[in-house]
Chain A
Amino acid sequence: MDPIRIYSPEGAVGRPTRALAASPAVLTGLRLGILDNGKPNAAPLMERMGEQLAQRMNLELVGVFRKGSAATPCEEPLLVEIAESCDLVLTGSAD
């Protein structure tokens, strides 16, 4: 059989992806926040991790922030507040 040409099914990507911020080389003295995704087990897990990190690395634990719903992105004003008050954020997705 002869070769044929077909179209790609994907479509172009409509938004450029953003690079993650570089991780800090030294954690000592930085301000740590926790963004709770709203799932039942997220806060207990991340709070415990935050406490351990703060203790071991001498971080300032700013607190736990909670977005409106696990099913929707974090609200922009809350992201701004977190960016202003924290140097590091612990967060996660899923259950």
Chain B
Amino acid sequence: MAPSKKKHANNKACVIPGGFTVLSLQFSASSAAQHKLYVKEHKVRAEKSSHRPLDRTLFVLNVPPYCAEHVVKRLFSQFGDVQSVELRDHPGSSKHLGPKLSRFFRPADKQGFKVGYIVFESPSSIAAAKSHPLSEPLVVSTEEHPVTTGVQKWIQQYTDSFVQPDHLQKIVDTFMEVHDKRKEEEAERQKREAELQQEDEEGWVKVTRGNKGTKARPHSEAANQKTLQKELRKKKRKELMNFYTWQHRNTQKEHIAELRKKFEEDKQRIALLRAQRKFRPY
């Protein structure tokens, strides 16, 4: 698998169609094989996120699983000071994170290859990164900053998984406090809205667009279906079965049709089995 970028001069950056610059990355200085990172300035029309300023954010593809955020930060600080690093499974807008969770309650991260959004302090760093030559690989684990993997890492993980009960209790309590407060606010807001829709002294009701949740009785899909079924049942009860001669005749006809259908189905099933030679006893 010879890299096809040999035609580029050794000390020049390698740019491929699509606007990506290829950087190479190896685990340690002694590694034989290299991963390729693909970097590009972050350019998205729709997104106006303060997290990823357009001029200072570098988009990186293919970050190996052993490069945690702090490792990426260290690797890229050679191009200039890094403000923040965000690693994601898939590219996309930064997701809404809901209430901030303690590390014990966050769902575990996937350990796969990731995409990264690196925000530099200054826009010039992006150019520096993009002109980094392919032949000089970034090194993940160095003597000063070793990166642990394998057994060492798992032992570390195991040790980290412990939590003090009182600490846990505290986390839970603070979360619940926030939660309760939010709920209260919500209730408050709903109450205010409800008040707005009350008749005023002169008998006027102010009709607004939008969420009418509070006014109508709380409705759900399940409730809707229940009422529908009730109606159907009512209808069915009123129906007369086999009362008129034509009804009786119809039932018989239906019965024969049913038998016929079953017969036909069975025939097909048999044909299918026969085609598979399922009737050879030995």
A joins B in a complex: no
